[in-house]
Amino acid sequence: MNNLRVAITGGTSGLGLALMRELRRRGARVAFVARSHERVEAIAREHPGTHGIVGDVARKEDIHPIALQITVALGGLDVLVNNASSLGPTPLALLADTECEDVALALETNVLGPFRLTKALLGALTASAREGRGAVVLNISSDAAINAYAQWGAYGASKAALRHMSAIWNEELAAEGVHFLSLDPGDMDTPLHALALPDADPATLKRPEAAARELADAIFAALEKEHA
């Protein structure tokens, strides 16, 4: 599992950053994607050997430049983590009060973005599977993908779509050796959570580092299953 090649979207804060650090600690080579040039530069400087890529997964035009930089930087790809997420409207709103544009943004970021990026990287992932390295796509989900929470309509609907899409990808691509995971990391003390529920007490929330350990365990377990 040494030299595992991993790409993480939304990698400069919250869960993405914690997962980047966790996987790096376990010997992976990591490329991460985020929108802010300054944040990407700063995080890349703090973590020598990582590759910072500036891009917005919600923008169709950014997808291939992102995919190109990921595969060049790592010489291929074994694991893709679709972590970047949009809440939709902030502050959160009842679905009936939600602008169509905010629903569209949640779908672009949480469903179409991961779909497009996965599709653009599928050649690299299947090449890795054929070479016996294994290939895993982890889509970050939420309990809002399953339960109907008032005011979480745009986010919940988009995460439900992503979860179902993960299941279908997995069904279709198992024979190609690409394994799809859809995992809910729980309610964490992250910028996204603070944006959604500014009054929540951070002490009651899970640390992103703890969630990152669990997700890393799941990725390695899926790769080992592929090897067995």
Just list the catalytic residues: 155
Q: Is residue 126 packed enough to be buried (19+ CB in 10 Å), middle (13-18) or exposed (0-12)?
A: middle
**Residues near 13 by Cβ (< 8 Å), separated by ≥ 6?**
34, 39, 190, 191
Q: What string of DSSP letters covers 143-200?
A: GGGTS--TTBHHHHHHHHHHHHHHHHHHHHHGGGTEEEEEE---SBSSHHHHHH-TTS
Q: How far is the CB of 71 from another protein (least distance, A)?
A: 5
Measured CA to CA, the distance from residue 115 to residue 122 in angstroms comes to: 10
Phi, psi dihedral angles at 98 (to 5 degrees)? -85, 130
* Sign of the dihedral through C-alpha 10, 136, 132, 68: negative
Q: How far is the CB of 115 from another protein (least distance, A)?
A: 13
Task: Decide whether 116 or 163 has the Cβ nearer to another protein.
Answer: 116
Q: How far is the CB of 25 from another protein (least distance, A)?
A: 22
- Give the interface with another protein as residue ranges (CB under 8 A): 51-54, 61, 63-69, 71-73, 75-76, 120, 122-124, 126-127, 130-132, 172, 175-176
DSSP-derived secondary structure letter, 206: B
Task: Decide whether 40 or 103 has the Cβ nearer to another protein.
Answer: 40
Task: Decide whether 61 or 201 has the Cβ nearer to another protein.
Answer: 61
Residues in the chain: 228
The helix/strand/coil state of 67 is helix
Task: Decide whether 123 or 191 has the Cβ nearer to another protein.
Answer: 123
The gap from C-alpha 36 to its chain's centroid, in whole angstroms, comes to 17
Q: How far is the CB of 199 from another protein (least distance, A)?
A: 40
Task: Decide whether 72 or 221 has the Cβ nearer to another protein.
Answer: 72
Measured CA to CA, the distance from residue 58 to residue 12 in angstroms comes to: 16
